Structure 1
């Protein structure tokens, strides 16, 4: 009779589980269409940012071409991207690997 105990840490984890567990980034890209004041308003409504934080992200988008607005779990990140796209902003998901 074996006295073998399984180590739960050694259990295999699927690639999908690993990918979903990694932090996801909500990124907004610069576009030539939306006014800066509009972008600030959207950031405040979608993320609840105060005026200063929303303006800081808007300037980052304007000057650097993109800004990471949020990081976290996949489901919430997808929701944020969808909301931003509903407001006609160019947004995408990045995986922080």
Structure 2
């Protein structure tokens, strides 16, 4: 006989998978090469940020030295880091502590 799960079991399993699969961030770091307008352009075109959000994160990179631009699984963050490198930006991924 097949075992069925009620909605609570399914919700709990989904929550657990999301929590376990999302402890990574992509950081973009300040560099002396790229113009601020270019960094904001990359954030808009790649991540789909609004102009205001892209400008806010670009200013965070400029003034604080770095900004978190994405959160998710390690594999997703590795793809984002590689994409940022392809755009000529300095980016890394980091595991975050829950």
Instruction: Tell whether the structures are fold-level matches, with TM greater than 0.5.
Output: yes
Structure 1 residue 63, shift from structure 2 partner: 0.3
Counterpart position of 2:76: 76
In structure 1, what is the Cα distance between the partners aligned to 2:22 and 2:59?
27
Structure 1 residue 74, shift from structure 2 partner: 1.1
Contact 2:22 / 2:71 at 8 angstroms: preserved in 1?
no
**What TM-score, normalized to structure 1?**
0.77
**Higher helix proportion (structure 1 or 2):** 2
1:25-47: CA deviation from partner (whole Å, max 9, x where unpaired): 00000001000100000011110
Counterpart position of 1:88: 88
**What TM-score, normalized to structure 2?**
0.76
In structure 1, what is the Cα distance between the partners aligned to 2:92 and 2:76?
13
In structure 2, what is the Cα distance between the partners aligned to 1:46 and 1:80?
9
List gaps (5 residues or longer) in structure 1.
1-19
List gaps (5 residues or longer) in structure 2.
1-19
How many correspondences in the alignment? 78
Structure 1 residue 22, shift from structure 2 partner: 4.7
Q: CA RMSD in A?
A: 1.1
